[in-house]
Amino acid sequence: MRSLLAVAGLALMLVVSGCKGDPTTPEYWSKRIEGAKGKKEKLKAIEELREKHMSPAMLPMLHDRLNAEKSAEVRRDIARVLGEAKSDTSIDALTNAIVFAPGDTDEKGLDKEIANALGNIGSPKAATTLVKLLGVKDNYTVLAAIDGLGEIRAPEGFEALDKIASDDTQETFVTKKAIIALGNIGDKRAVPTLVKAMFKERKGVSFYLEASFALYQMGTPAADALLPVLDGSDKAMYEWAAKNNIKDVALQAKSAQVLGDLHDMRAEKALLAMLNPKTDYDDIRAILQGRAADALGRMRSKNAVKPLSALVTDAKTDAGVVRECVFALVRIGNSEGVPALITFLGKAPYWDARDEIMRGITMMGTDKDIAAFDKATAEEGKKTEAGCKGEEESHPDCKNGVEGAIKRHVERVAQHKARLLASGECKTDAACWAKKLDDKNDTVRERAAAEVGRGNNAAFAPELFKRLKEQNLDARLSIIQATDWLVNDNADAMKAAKGILPDLEKQLKDEKGKTDFVKINEDLRRLYVRIQRG
């Protein structure tokens, strides 16, 4: 009997001790954190909880520990765990833990982590606290608070963020973050600040990239403000620019870019005038013509076809402008300029210009243009050889040998021609072009995307959606543009596109910082906003 009692007692002790040591209970972690010997042991316990046993049941205990712990470093790590849990029940506890006048690095780190946590929770209830954190004298905390307000799109943050974005004494990276947050919030009252930010430079830093995208996010209110800047009727803006040593050409060129992105046809008349600017300076003329061509192309302006074609075939036109005009003509997709391009192709003295013109011809032409294309490119070998003379060291295509340059150029001609051959096969059959999205020739994939986009058939929208990760940059740009056209023109395609927003968001995050995609993904970001805005 005594033996049985002893065994029963031992079993009872094991059960009781098992309950006290159960890591799935808040009590276990409260005692472990509180009873830890020193800060390092506390931090270790918090990290183990975070990695292995965190659950909603732990939140009240962590709220209590956040209030009870004396070490700012320990409280910082608790705040991080609460931020990852993303529960708005943590907002009060996090707010109460803020050290609004931090005295050392650990306290600054705590405030920053609280700001991060509130942003991660993503609740509008955190907006008031995040606005207060903008007043903390620690830029890292301020940056985290700005990010948080932008993430939760808190209108309560507008006035404070607008003040930061307008303050020329701020650190440039703080200004950039404030501009980004204003764009995310989308309050149209920010438009005047964002318009000026497009043209400002401070300490050699431009805010154009952030401000132009924020204005794109604003949509029509941004266009309303930029139209009088583009056509020169906003006298107050031009006076402000003169006082700040900002040139008129910058006002027009950057306004044109955003209006083109927004596809605002109200700008068409002013942009057409910009193709023939009144200036004696070649560099200014080239800037204005290039930006106008790009904007008109993005708008798919039919009225721009003739003046753009005229610029391409004018021997005096800057090579960079020729490139922009060809891109614009391809976007517009009107083939009436193809014969003039073919005629000029036979006369173009430089390879870079010929390459762009061939792209334009074969992105818009049909199999009926093959004979003329072959005739215009028949002498490419001789032209390349002549062009390389004296430029063996300077021209990238020639420095490794004339024969190699000839070979590369002739192969490039064949790649361009493949588009015309595909046109002969598919004609206007959207289903045929959709199959060509998987063609081994990237130039054919580029044309196929444009044809599917212009076809305005929502049934083929998914074929574009699933290829937005295309690795060839020219083909990817064409797929992005085609998707943009399709969702802009077709309500059913727009409806279908809503389903790809999570995938687009993930892609943008995964590719952030990858140099190959930095420039082209600016168009992908705008596509994301267009679909989001509907």
Token output for 131? 């606005």
142 close to 175: Cβ distance less than 8 angstroms: no
Nearest to 425 by CA among 370, 359, 383, 351: 370
pLDDT at position 12 is 43
289-318 pLDDT, tens digit per residue, is 999 999 999 999 999 999 999 999 898 999
Helix ranges (DSSP H) in 231-350: 235-243, 248-261, 268-274, 282-299, 305-312, 319-332, 338-345
pLDDT at position 391 is 67
Positions in the chain whose pLDDT score sits under 70: 1-20, 390-394
What is residue 52's DSSP assignment?
A: I
Alpha carbons 126 and 299: distance in angstroms, whole number? 40
351-366 pLDDT, tens digit per residue, is 888 999 999 999 999 9
* CA–centroid distance for 399 within its chain: 36
Is the model's pTM score more than 0.75? yes
Q: Which amino acid is at 443?
A: T
pLDDT at position 11 is 45
Calculate the alpha carbon distances from 347 to 30, 286, 342, 369, 490 in Å: 82, 22, 9, 17, 41
Q: What is the SS3 assignment for 190-211?
A: HHHHHHHHHHCEECCEECHHHH
* CA–centroid distance for 50 within its chain: 33
Backbone torsions φ then ψ of 467, nearest 5 degrees? -115, 15
289 close to 321: Cβ distance less than 8 angstroms: yes
123 close to 91: Cβ distance less than 8 angstroms: yes
Q: How many CA atoms lie within 13 A of 390 on its CB side?
A: 2
pLDDT at position 3 is 55
Alpha carbons 488 and 486: distance in angstroms, whole number? 5
User: Where is 492: in which H helix or E strand?
Assistant: helix 491-497
pLDDT at position 18 is 38
199 close to 246: Cβ distance less than 8 angstroms: yes
Angle of helix 282-299 relative to helix 248-261, nearest 10 degrees? 20
Sign of the C-alpha dihedral, residues 462, 468, 472, 476?
positive
pLDDT at position 14 is 41
Find tokens 């955003």 and name the residue: 258
Token output for 242? 């003169």
Own/partner pairs for 421-430, CB < 8 Å, 24+ apart?
A: 421/367, 421/370, 422/447, 422/448, 423/365, 423/366, 423/367, 423/447, 424/366, 424/367, 424/370, 426/451, 427/366, 428/455, 430/455, 430/457, 430/460
